[in-house]
Structure 1
Amino acid sequence: MTSTKMTIHVQNMGGMLQDHTIVLGDRAVRQSKIPTSGTVTLKFGASKQQVKVVSASHLDGLRIGEPLARRLGVHHGAHVGVSYRASSKTLSLGPLIGVLMSRVYSGTPDRPFGTNTGFCKELVDACHTYGALVYFFTPGDISSGQQSLEGWTYYGRWRKSSFPIPDVVYNRLTTRKLENMPSVQHFMKEVKSRYGNYVFNETYLDKTDVFDALKQDSSLTRYLPESHLFKNYQMLKSMTARHPIVFLKPITGSLGKGIIRISRLAGQSYMCQSTSLNGTVRQSFPSIDALFSSLSGKLKQRRYQIQQGLHLIETGGRPVDFRALVQRGPQCVWGVTSVVARIAGSNHFVSNLARGGTLSRVKEALQKTNLSAAQQRAVNTHLRKAALDIAKGIESHIKGHFGELGVDLAVDSHGKVWLLEVNSKPSKNDGTPLSEGAIRPSVKMTVQYARYLAGF
């Protein structure tokens, strides 16, 4: 079944076009052998209805009436893929992509998704380029048993319309609380089981789950610093005895929040550093017992991962790590879309942008470190290989459907590459300046993968 990109022309009902009739160009009708006698099933997302196909000479596109366009949520000038399956007499339009967002900012109609509005507009533009239609909805738009959704899309301005359940749901929820809502979980289950459609990036990844899963693969252990679910004082004592630096990271944390760095000093004393909005808070302790007593209250409030610390390469005295974006493409194969260096801000030991970190090109960041030219070239290659290996390991060892992963990697002073963590909801708001109408490769890849999933 081949797909052809076509432009939709919406005609008002003052013309001759009937509600359940669509018009295709002669050439498309002949090439796909679409019958013009009787009816065929028109499929768009989960919507299916019987329509009659009429052929017209010199028409380059697909013409439908206003009532049908309104039911489908399509607009004049939209570009969609069109394919015909003779065995089921089904004419499919799409793919219809639904992006599940955390919230809509009703007071800013030109920026309904806040700082993520630019990314959403890029998705709209990429769909127009490749032939697809995308809309954006929130948990508040979901209700039980519905066969359509209220969502937002862009043509001329941001508009809210009714759409069928999509072929592909791209989960961009930014909190576990929203993702774990019963209505959201039920909806994602229904999309897959009832409609046979797809949800990708359907769940958050917990830090310890990732490391425990990847430990099962002997080919990946070389990337893994020693890491455990934190349990008790004895574990803290043994880890700090084995490693001069240890990190405590909230299992469900993000943006560098709540990370604790413990350094063993001379004479069995310890330095404890923790992140705050204003920088790093430092405390000294004469013993591991005193350190644990100070932290015990905090460690009881949430679950932590305890991880071997690394002596990271630095530029200008600031630690550097790397974020690789790994995505599935038009053939469902994992590929590295981008790798960027992240340099920690002043008075911070984490590189997150939310904590004052800055982005840099990998080559430029490496040139400012103490690594030799040969080591820099090797690191550049090893970062991409490690990211790919880890993404494939996630696919093999962790339940869930992922279309993209943010893989955070570190490089130690010897040039060895290590895994820090894997993020199934990599940020789309990195401050990258874009010229008007530009579309990032990562956004194009998302649309191409959705087209693959939906069979276009």
Structure 2
Amino acid sequence: MVQPVLGILTLYLNDKGLLEEKPIYQRMTLAGKKLGLEVFVFTPADVNYSDNRIHAHIYDTASKSWSRKWRSFPHMIYDRCRIQRSHRFVQLSHFRKKYGHLTFLNRVLRNKWTVYRTMRKEDGFVPHLPMTRLYESPGDLTEMIRKYPLIYLKPINGTGGRGILRIEKQQGGEYLIQGRDQDRRIVRPQRASLSGIQGRLASWDLKGNRYLVQQGIQLKLPNGRVHDYRMLVQKNGKGEWEVTGCAGRIGASGSITSNLHGGGQAIKMQSLLSDWIRNEDTAADIMKKAEDFGVKVAAYLEESYGRLCELALDLAIDRRGQIWLLEVNPKPAREVFAQAGERETYKQAIVRPLEYAVWLYDQKKRRKEKQDKQDKQVPSLD
């Protein structure tokens, strides 16, 4: 019996061959072994295009060590590649184009602006989407600032809280500008008049760097820190969408975002939401609605963009209990659950893509066997 093989596709973080999520890949290799699934890791730079072989990174669960071996292409590919501004991302684009016919657990989702416009086509999602515009001229920013007391400026392809700005109208009529630069460092808060905002932001090159202007949701806790929720929606071992977990995130002091990489902390959703809403029954009802919403979003985006196996949704919940979708992340980390003390959810988050891969392999195998049987039953023309 042929053992199914899953190749985890990733990118080197630098030209020295550093891989970002090795501890996760080690856990996936071990979990895959228990499921009868072989797992190896590779990047586009490891592919020999002339003979379609891969110089793979393989983790030995017995010796607990990594080695390199030449392998044939896997039965399935799990794409974990995040956006980079480097030649490695060009290699990735070439790989995806050449081998796009292979079985991927997850396809490319597109940028924030495209996803937002796709979501707005479905009427049921519109009340959950903060108003968002593509920054094409200073007028786009001015119009949004006049319409909303709080707005965020986000890079169209940014991740991890990099390059995000927050502009909030103050009681005296001035505007407070806060943010993080491309290295996630907190930018010194500045104040400006409406007419002076553009001058303050000139160095950010909002148009050249392709920014979005988004309606802000008031999410400051009594201690002044912002918060939101990270929901992980994944395919299970039956090929069905299911919420694996949802955890709260509280930003660092002085931060406009809640990202863990920016100094934020994780907390159990129920605890954070109950404190925020101040009613446990209402909070429980909101949690259920959020889960239903998350599954619908995942199914809709898969229908729009092709096969997906997991998505992380960044959700905001205002004082009225309204659920807002701030962002969709197709290559989610799992550490938020470990840091929130939800170890079982963390383990499940690692295992579920593997269970889905086994299910997908079995489905393809059954379809092939059925087709082979039908082909044998076709009468000969001789």
Bucket of the pairwise TM-score, normalised by the shorter protein: 0.7 to 0.9
Give a deviation string over 1:214-238, Cα, whole Å, max 9, x none: 0000111121011111122222122
User: How far apart, in 2, do the equivalents of 1:435 and 1:316 lie?
Assistant: 25
Match for residue 10 of structure 1?
none
What's the offset of the Cα at 1:291?
0.4
Match for residue 196 of structure 2?
290
Is 2:75 the partner of 1:170? no
What's the offset of the Cα at 1:267?
4.7
Aligned positions of 1:251-262 closer than 5 A: 251-262=156-167
Is 2:267 the partner of 1:331? no
User: How far apart, in 1, do the equivalents of 2:196 and 2:249 lie?
Assistant: 34
Aligned 8 A contact 1:315 1:368 in 2 = no
User: How far apart, in 1, do the equivalents of 2:301 and 2:344 lie?
Assistant: 34
Which is strand-richer, 1 or 2?
A: 1
Aligned 8 A contact 1:410 1:419 in 2 = yes
Give me the CA root mean square deviation. 2.8
What's the offset of the Cα at 1:294?
2.1
Aligned positions of 1:92-171 closer than 5 A: 93-103=2-12, 113=19, 116-155=21-60, 156=63, 157-171=65-79
Match for residue 368 of structure 2?
none
User: How far apart, in 1, do the equivalents of 2:286 and 2:346 lie?
Assistant: 28
Match for residue 269 of structure 1?
174
Q: 1:199 aligns with which of 104, 114, 130?
A: 104
Aligned 8 A contact 1:142 1:184 in 2 = no
Match for residue 383 of structure 1?
290
Match for residue 242 of structure 1?
147
SS at match of 1:330: coil
Match for residue 418 of structure 1?
324
What's the offset of the Cα at 1:372?
2.2
**Residues 308 and 435 of structure 1, relative CA distance in 2, 3 Å threshold:** closer
Matched residue type, 1:247:
Y
User: How far apart, in 1, do the equivalents of 2:148 and 2:3 lie?
Assistant: 54
Matched residue type, 2:263:
G
What's the offset of the Cα at 1:143?
3.2
Which is helix-richer, 1 or 2?
A: 2
**Residues 133 and 178 of structure 1, relative CA distance in 2, 3 Å threshold:** farther
SS at match of 1:199: coil
> What TM-score, normalized to structure 2?
0.85
Aligned 8 A contact 1:151 1:161 in 2 = yes
Matched residue type, 1:289:
S
What's the offset of the Cα at 1:268?
3.4
Is 2:229 the partner of 1:322? yes
**Residues 437 and 382 of structure 1, relative CA distance in 2, 3 Å threshold:** closer
Give a deviation string over 1:152-208, Cα, whole Å, max 9, x none: 222222221111101111111232446974543343344343xxx312334253111
> What TM-score, normalized to structure 1?
0.72
Is 2:301 the partner of 1:394? yes
Is 2:214 the partner of 1:214? no
Match for residue 52 of structure 1?
none
Aligned 8 A contact 2:112 2:156 in 1 = yes
**Residues 416 and 340 of structure 1, relative CA distance in 2, 3 Å threshold:** same
Aligned 8 A contact 1:223 1:386 in 2 = no
Once structures 1 and 2 are overlaid, which stretch shifts more, 210-219 or 376-385? Answer: 376-385
Match for residue 353 of structure 2?
446
**Residues 382 and 438 of structure 1, relative CA distance in 2, 3 Å threshold:** closer
Name stretches of at least 5 consecutive residues in structure 1 with no aligned partner.
1-81, 83-92
Aligned positions of 1:362-377 closer than 5 A: 362-377=269-284
Q: How many residues align?
A: 356
User: How far apart, in 2, do the equivalents of 1:268 and 1:439 lie?
Assistant: 45
What's the offset of the Cα at 1:280?
4.6
SS at match of 1:188: helix
Name stretches of at least 5 consecutive residues in structure 2 with no aligned partner.
364-382
**Residues 401 and 364 of structure 1, relative CA distance in 2, 3 Å threshold:** same
What's the offset of the Cα at 1:313?
5.8
Aligned 8 A contact 2:225 2:250 in 1 = yes
Give a deviation string over 1:253-281, Cα, whole Å, max 9, x none: 11101111111223532111112555352
